[in-house]
Chains A and B, each alone.
Chain A
């Protein structure tokens, strides 16, 4: 049941124009900053927003002319939207009931689904008596029990606290793997996207800026937003052999030889800081000024201004040794072998 869609929606000075495909069984993540149009795209797929232009085809059938109730697309909303007056069981049985499945059978099916998501003991509870993680699983069961042709998830883990999130993410991964149709997942959390999806579609400002699997995207980001998500310093320049010249004239030496327009990326952990100009092997060395210092896992993330704006990760011990504080002048260096250049 493969999905092919081109979604064009214009409103209030914002234009969404993206193409989207998904194969049966594939999980595609729409990843992007807030306001990029991810949720708009999802609502258009579900039929809750009319398309300005374009079409949605699922398995050779045009969907964009059908109202939402005839599309058979399961949706898990960001805040789940469980019907507050119905028990978990009746929430899950709602879909089958709407498809004229007799009440007893619908309840039987709902019970099976709730058991499958591990909530067999909570069938009688009302949504307000459920925890966030449980409500999320009921919402997933409700979307799946109605045997949709495609599944849409809007920020499925955003409303959960950090611990629940970890467990729920692992379970969700299992359920998505078992679902035979295509799944489109919307998220602004790169970890969710990388863990749950087979393929990532990154949208910024209503347009697709990069698509690819997790490995490609983490290794070769193509916009500042993606670079920040995956934690790389990213620059654009012209390569001649192993030398890349950035627009402001700064030269970086890379290990890979390229010609023409390229992206250059290196991780913050590859940047070393020195109190004075270092001697020896690192070939990319420049003077820099510390602008901000923040915690980043076990290390400190140092933002550097100056000739080449970059982020550097150093250990707290090194930071103390160097006397790092905003405004401090240091020398930064990165080994050529850590710098990766790829075609723009």
Chain B
């Protein structure tokens, strides 16, 4: 969800506008793709940690800190998974003919209306594909989460973290958890694929 809200506008900006530093922004967006997730987690800690660049200010002004909280998990997973969405949506946007937006504008549609009623439906498959990739990546995310948010059962423990822990204590439980994860993932991916083919 966070990825959709942040990622789609970001992709639009990257695909449709020209501004100095666009290449830098794109590089920053995609860097989590190539970065080992653990390093991503360390980077997040440096920025949002209690002594971090932004974190210290957040802590002092709002008495609020991200690391080792459920919100922290969301931030970590969004950070690592969003590039998948941004890249998929940006590709779809570049593929979609910008002249449809022009046609909409000549019919009196504002930029927002044109995006909502014309561009978004045109790129919907791309957005859906990006969202699924993004979700799948987030589901399997391990490194950044454990580094940035820790592994507290019921608060910041995600499935992969639980599997990792279980593997050391109870191999059978780990296998069961892994199977559940596998079945859920395959099930959802298969259902979504069928829906796209039908559409």
Contact = CB atoms under 8 A, between A and B. Distances in A.
Interface stretch (B102-110, B153-161, B185-193): B102-110
B122 A94 contact: no
A326 interface: no
A85 B110 contact: no
Interface in A53-77: 67-75, 77
Interface string B106-118: 1111100100011
B105 A67 contact: yes
B121 interface: yes
Contacts of A69: 105-110
Given A69-B110, A83-B118, A85-B122, A94 B105 contact: no
Interface in B75-112: 97, 99-100, 102-110
A72 B107 CA distance: 7
A99 B106 CA distance: 12
Nearest to B120: A85
B108 A46 contact: no
Interface string A68-104: 1111111101000101110000000011001100000
Contacts of A85: 121-122
A103 to B, nearest CB: 13
Of A46, A70, A94, A95, most B-chain CB atoms within 10 Å: A94
Contacts of B106: 46-48, 68-69, 71, 73-75, 143
A146 interface: yes
B108 A75 contact: no
A142 interface: yes
A83 B121 CA distance: 10
Interface in B123-156: none
B103 A98 contact: no
B6 to A, nearest CB: 25
A75 B99 CA distance: 12
Given A85-B122, A94-B117, A72 B108 contact: yes
B177 to A, nearest CB: 41
Nearest to B109: A98
A262 to B, nearest CB: 44
B109 A81 contact: no
Contact of B104 (A84, A94, A99): A94
A100 to B, nearest CB: 9
Contact of A95 (B97, B100, B108, B122): B108
8 contacts: A48-B102, A67-B105, A75-B106, A81-B97, A83-B121, A83-B122, A85-B122, A98-B109
10 closest A-B pairs (Cβ-Cβ)? Answer: A98-B108, A81-B103, A95-B107, A68-B105, A75-B106, A85-B121, A98-B109, A69-B105, A48-B102, A69-B108
Interface of B: 97, 99-100, 102-110, 113, 117-118, 121-122
Given A98-B109, A146-B108, 19 more contacts: A48-B102, A69-B107, A69-B108, A69-B110, A71-B106, A72-B108, A74-B106, A77-B99, A81-B100, A81-B103, A83-B118, A83-B121, A94-B104, A94-B117, A95-B107, A98-B104, A99-B108, A142-B107, A143-B107
